[in-house]
Structure 1
Amino acid sequence: MKALQLLLVNLLLLSIPLFGQKKNADYRLQLKKSNTAIIVDGSINDVGWEQAQVAKDFHMILPMDTSLAKVKTEVRMTYDDNFLYLIAVCYHSEPGPYIVESLRRDFSFGKNDNFLLFMDPFDDQTNGFSFGANAAGAQWDGLMYDGGSVDLSWDNKWTSEVKNYEDRWVFEAAIPFKTIRYKKGITEWGINFSRLDLKAGEKSSWTPVPRQFPSASLAYTGTLVWDQPPPTVGGNVSIIPYALGGVSRDFNNDLDTDYRGEVGVDAKVAITSSLNLDLTVNPDFSQVEVDQQVTNLDRFELFFPERRQFFLENGDLFANFGYQNIRPFFSRRIGLGVPIRFGARLSGKVNKNWRIGVMNMQTGKVEETGLPAQNFAVAAVQRRVFARSNIGLIVVDKESLNYTPSDDPQMPEYSQYNRNIGLEYNLASSNNLWTGKALYLRSFSPEERENNVVHAANLNYESRKLSLRWQHEYVGEGYTAEVGYVPRRNYIKLNPEAEYRFFPDNSSVVSHGPTISSTYFFNHAFEQTDNESYLAYNVVFQNRSNMSAWVAHNYVQLLQAFDPTNSSGDTLATFSEHHWNAWGTEYESTPNSLFTYSFSTRYGGYFADGKRLNLTTEMGYRFQPYVSISLRASYNNILLPEPWNRNEFWLLGPRLDVTMTNKLFFTAFMQYNQQLDNINLNTRLQWRYQPASDLFIVYTDNYFPEPFGVRNRALVLKFTYWWNV
């Protein structure tokens, strides 16, 4: 009851003025159907473009948001019965070649001259699609969520062409109506266009966007006005089969070579133009890029994001429920070391105000560990309220099928079921200055557990000069989320934070200012167990480089035994108390150069009156547009009393990206992790022989560093084909 009362208080705190007209409602681009064919070749000579209205006079976002853009950009759009077309003419501001990282798809935004389209088919300023390209022709596409974030893991079928001229580069695209989701009959879509020109050091957009927000912010879109309702797609079914062959061997355990041959299929069925059914049978994700490793000195489980394509479309309905460290649903729990047999997901928009998502996945059993076949189900519904806010409900269920615990004490025991139900309110004001969330969760398991609830809330204010943030969390001791990510339980957390920015005139510095933050953890008796107080000073330069320096004080009372090196097995005692101070610096170079770099330092105290030095750097060089080389390195030197003494951990990650064309890519990525005593090599060749259809060759090795030897290796050949029925 107290938890529900506190949730109601949080809702009242978040109930600030939320109504208001769309900020850039006066920016309207009229869209007319083309009566002639559009050929996607990077040329503006087609007759259809002569009849299209021009979006121009872009507004500068960075380095300042107080004037029109210096670089000139002109955009036109049209459509026919099957495609939505766009052409962007991006003029150069000064002589010299464009700046790009490579031809790699879904490139790093800040390291490439690029043009992006942000499209909100429901004009709800919350969800949408993004398409674009860099100046060399590499494509970018992603799903938009949370009013301004883009998930680049989404991949779909569309075509584009970039052509370079002496004074400009031109991006032309054809987006099939079958690729995007929209509601029949809606004739006004949210729309904005973003341009990044690194030579000029300028980011701009068609509509004015305050510099503290990304150009992707859907709160600041203009309006795409159709001359008639968009075409009805009709039958929209895509079948995506795959065939795979592979060979692997575990040298560490001296096992025989294992050969595999598999087939599977995905399907996409448009129930309506805005509601999609995804099906999968025997999916395989061997082509997914490996996780970037980190030196783990944390007391709790680390988080690695989902990369598997099937879980991504409208995945924010499930994955964004909760907070960074309070997630009732985390899709990487599904298929963790076990085969996924089949799955289905229904997701999308019912209308402008309602979104739904329902997913069901079935995994197979594993005889060696006694793990039974399991079913994972999650359902979420979201209702838009006020201008851009929403209320969401989620239900998560994990069931072990036909499971009886083994009598063998050596076999692990698994739960019969685990369920979660949650309610949250997401605040987003019409001008995006106020954002926040109020959350309530409860779990259910066969063993009745007390204190099995979570409630949390945050409120953020983000103006041009001042940022204020408040967050609190309460996680009960009995709360469990077996299909979620909740690394810590049984705590109360309070986190206030403030940041201020100064904008000097006529200076090489764009902005500078302090950030102050304090994070407190308490047990349920409200006795403090952790605190980090943090003060930083941040500087952003005209050339888009930035630096900061910080100092921090930490206090930790260990609630369980902990190895401060996460490698030796020796532990510090439960309830032991630790204090230390530390300082550090961070710097990121200008993205304009072919050679880019960043570094961070940290020096100060550590557990058990120890000392810790951390040096991290990332360097990259591009032979544009075909080759990009980078190196990420991290060094930790930890001095502790006996039995740990001195510990040194290196983490090295060189990477090579070769993009022969914007359809043929080769990536080689090596990681040496001294803490794990492992060297990992992953190489991947990808040939996109037609839109959304690929051939992958993936080779993976793991080695012992000393003495050098092979742990295991694998080679996989995978073929996928996207077939529109």
Structure 2
Amino acid sequence: PYGVAKTRNGNSIDGQNEQEVGFDVKYSVTPSLTLDVTYNTDFAQVEVDEFQANLDRFSLFLPEQRPFFLENSGQFSIGVSREAQLFFSRRIGIASDGSQVPIKAGVRLSGKVGAATNIGLLQMQADAVPGIAPQTDYSVARLSQEFANRSSLGFLLVSKEENGSLDGGPDHYNRTFAVDGQLGLGDDGLVSGFVAKTETPGLRSDDTAFRISAAADTEDWSYSGSVMQVGENFNPEVGFLRRTDFTSFDLFALRRWRDPSWKSLLELRPHIYYKGWWGGDDLYETGFLHIDNHWEWKSGFEVHTGMNLLHEGVREDFELAPGQIVHAGEYDDQEVQLVLMTDDSQPLSLKVTAKIGGFFGGDRTQLTPSIQYRVGETFNATLDWAYNDIQRPGNPETLKINVGSLRATYSFSPRVSLQALVQYNDATDTVASNIRLAWLTSADAGFYLVYNETRDDDVGMFTEKRREWIVKFSHSFDVFD
């Protein structure tokens, strides 16, 4: 069971206080099959989302971070990560604007039945939030049977049922059906794919998607290729689609090359990768050709030297940033890419990625340094930065965007830790802090103190916009002990 108390200030909120209680139950049906039950689910101790800058016209992907959904998440996974996922758990309990939707209750059964049958059943209910979301029931059923030589066959059902609607219309529903499988070929080859269909009121025909891919890995070579098609009305509302109504095609080949005569150089990995997307109207939406070589030394130092050939087909004007309009048309650009990495097993390590070249008919310089510092098991910190300098024709002003974060963890003991995440985005003039103190009594229970703060720079100085304190205590015990 748990209890949590919250207090919020700022952003038109004056001293709002909340208190909640709930519980989680975990029961081992068999050593390999687990039943989880949750009531009034709370994720107060979960780290906030990382800031991102969207420099394209397609959806950003924010990964799942809530422990309940991360546990055994692979059981429910079908699709391509960050591009086309048929089930995406962030659709449950998080609105499209990022605000939290209370989860009333849920139950999950996941694991293995026998030696080769994987099962996943999930039922969740999210409460209604006036003006944001009606009460919604989510159901997911997943079954996969393993066969010899890495082969498998499975199916997935995802259902969303809304009880009521925000506009007073009829109840809404959405369903996704999918079959997936993979076939191992010899020791090195693998063919995999899925076929899926959705049901949505008002959307008929062209509501299917499929993907087929093949890959082979040997000691010296890696190859892969795939084809995917998503229909115009394919609508997995409890999934994730970065773009809709497209056909994509990709090819990849990599050579691993080692020579005992090399004194300090460990391995060369020349490779080439291409991926293209075409819209349902046959517009060549995006093309990406990447030619690269990875140089890895025995010291752990790496250099990646590559170039990218880019194509963008823009159907209609879109705003890259306030006052920065990308007009409809075809854009072909090139950029060089350099990556430097030091040995990340050392206390201090560095990774820098630089891209210089064309961008929607203009020019872009992109730098993404990352510095990591670690002191044994006691302290670690990571500073990440993303800098973009964009100059586009017809826009006299250079667009400069900085997005940075500092993440640090200090462990007082194996059970007591202090974590902090401070983020900055100058595109939105925002600084956000997330500080979490955890004093655990078991692996997933204990005392949590969380402080969240957001500050804006709209008036020339960083003024507080929102502040939140959260105190949570949870305790776990064995009911059969």
Instruction: Flag whether TM exceeds 0.5 (same fold).
Output: yes
Establish whether residue 445 from structure 1 lines up as the match of residue 197 from structure 2.
no
Distance in 2, matches of 1:345 and 1:628, equals 34
Letter in 1 for 2:246: Y
Equivalent of 1:610 in 362, 383, 387? 362
1:576-625 Cα shifts (integer Å, max 9, x gaps): 11111101100110134322111010000111x21100111111223334
Instruction: Give the equivalent residue in structure 1 for 2:46.
Output: 288
TM alignment of 1:36-47, pairs within 5 A: none
Distance in 1, matches of 2:170 and 2:222, equals 46
Contact 2:272 2:291 in 1 (8 A): yes
1:147-187 Cα shifts (integer Å, max 9, x gaps): xxxxxxxxxxxxxxxxxxxxxxxxxxxxxxxxxxxxxxxxx
Letter in 1 for 2:478: N
Distance in 2, matches of 1:414 and 1:666, equals 48
Instruction: Give the equivalent residue in structure 2 for 1:417.
Output: 173
Distance in 2, matches of 1:287 and 1:480, equals 32
The verdict on how the C-alpha distance between 1:469 and 1:271 changes in structure 2, with shifts beyond 3 A counting, is same
Instruction: Give the equivalent residue in structure 2 for 1:397.
Output: 159
Report the structure number with the largest CA radius of gyration. Answer: 1
Contact 1:581 1:604 in 2 (8 A): yes
Establish whether residue 497 from structure 1 lines up as the match of residue 259 from structure 2.
no
Equivalent of 2:227 in 472, 481, 491? 472
Letter in 2 for 1:269: Y
TM alignment of 1:139-150, pairs within 5 A: none
Aligned length: 470
Displacement after TM superposition at 1:326 (Å): 1.5
Instruction: Give the equivalent residue in structure 2 for 1:39.
Output: none
Contact 1:243 1:262 in 2 (8 A): yes
1:170-227 Cα shifts (integer Å, max 9, x gaps): xxxxxxxxxxxxxxxxxxxxxxxxxxxxxxxxxxxxxxxxxxxxxxxxxxxxxxxxxx
Letter in 2 for 1:284: D
TM alignment of 1:26-425, pairs within 5 A: 241-249=1-9, 251-253=10-12, 255-318=13-76, 320-324=77-81, 325-336=83-94, 337-369=100-132, 371-403=133-165, 405-406=167-168, 416-425=172-181
Distance in 1, matches of 2:286 and 2:388, equals 23
Instruction: Give the equivalent residue in structure 2 for 1:143.
Output: none
Equivalent of 1:671 in 408, 411, 423? 423
Contact 1:568 1:644 in 2 (8 A): no
1:367-411 Cα shifts (integer Å, max 9, x gaps): 234x321111110110112222211100111111144733xxxxx
Displacement after TM superposition at 1:690 (Å): 3.8
Distance in 2, matches of 1:604 and 1:442, equals 40
1:29-76 Cα shifts (integer Å, max 9, x gaps): xxxxxxxxxxxxxxxxxxxxxxxxxxxxxxxxxxxxxxxxxxxxxxxx
Contact 2:380 2:410 in 1 (8 A): yes
Contact 1:535 1:552 in 2 (8 A): yes
Q: For 1:724, what is the secondary structure of its paired residue?
A: coil
Distance in 1, matches of 2:381 and 2:276, equals 41
The verdict on how the C-alpha distance between 1:585 and 1:415 changes in structure 2, with shifts beyond 3 A counting, is farther
Instruction: Give the equivalent residue in structure 1 for 2:97.
Output: none
Displacement after TM superposition at 1:534 (Å): 1.2
Contact 2:141 2:156 in 1 (8 A): yes
Contact 2:131 2:166 in 1 (8 A): no
Distance in 1, matches of 2:306 and 2:171, equals 45
Letter in 1 for 2:109: L
Contact 1:458 1:469 in 2 (8 A): yes
Letter in 2 for 1:623: V
1:411-439 Cα shifts (integer Å, max 9, x gaps): xx7971111100011244674x2234211
Contact 2:185 2:191 in 1 (8 A): no
Distance in 2, matches of 1:264 and 1:658, equals 29
Letter in 2 for 1:247: T
Displacement after TM superposition at 1:691 (Å): 4.3
The verdict on how the C-alpha distance between 1:612 and 1:375 changes in structure 2, with shifts beyond 3 A counting, is same
The verdict on how the C-alpha distance between 1:690 and 1:445 changes in structure 2, with shifts beyond 3 A counting, is closer
Instruction: Give the equivalent residue in structure 1 for 2:393.
Output: 641
Please give the TM-score of this superposition, normalised by the length of structure 2: 0.93
Instruction: Give the equivalent residue in structure 1 for 2:344.
Output: 591
Distance in 1, matches of 2:2 and 2:185, equals 44
Equivalent of 2:304 in 525, 548, 570? 548
Letter in 1 for 2:257: F
Q: Quick check: which one's strand share is greater?
A: 2
1:447-467 Cα shifts (integer Å, max 9, x gaps): 142211101111111112111
Letter in 1 for 2:7: V
Provide the aligned C-alpha RMSD in A. Answer: 1.9
Distance in 2, matches of 1:281 and 1:649, equals 42
Distance in 1, matches of 2:474 and 2:238, equals 29
Displacement after TM superposition at 1:527 (Å): 4.9
Q: For 2:90, what is the secondary structure of its paired residue?
A: helix
Distance in 2, matches of 1:303 and 1:404, equals 26
Please give the TM-score of this superposition, normalised by the length of structure 1: 0.63
Equivalent of 2:437 in 677, 685, 694? 685
Displacement after TM superposition at 1:641 (Å): 2.9
Displacement after TM superposition at 1:364 (Å): 0.9
Distance in 2, matches of 1:414 and 1:550, equals 54
Q: For 1:345, what is the secondary structure of its paired residue?
A: strand
Contact 1:388 1:430 in 2 (8 A): no
Establish whether residue 572 from structure 1 lines up as the match of residue 326 from structure 2.
yes
Structure 1: 5+ residue runs without aligned partners?
1-240, 407-412
Instruction: Give the equivalent residue in structure 2 for 1:233.
Output: none
The verdict on how the C-alpha distance between 1:644 and 1:681 changes in structure 2, with shifts beyond 3 A counting, is farther
Structure 2: 5+ residue runs without aligned partners?
95-99
Distance in 2, matches of 1:480 and 1:428, equals 31
Contact 1:537 1:548 in 2 (8 A): yes
Distance in 2, matches of 1:673 and 1:435, equals 42
The verdict on how the C-alpha distance between 1:489 and 1:270 changes in structure 2, with shifts beyond 3 A counting, is same
The verdict on how the C-alpha distance between 1:630 and 1:245 changes in structure 2, with shifts beyond 3 A counting, is same
Instruction: Give the equivalent residue in structure 2 for 1:164.
Output: none
Distance in 2, matches of 1:244 and 1:252, equals 22
Instruction: Give the equivalent residue in structure 2 for 1:23.
Output: none
Give the share of equivalent positions with the same residue, in percent.
26
Equivalent of 2:409 in 639, 649, 657? 657
Displacement after TM superposition at 1:360 (Å): 0.8
Contact 1:322 1:424 in 2 (8 A): no
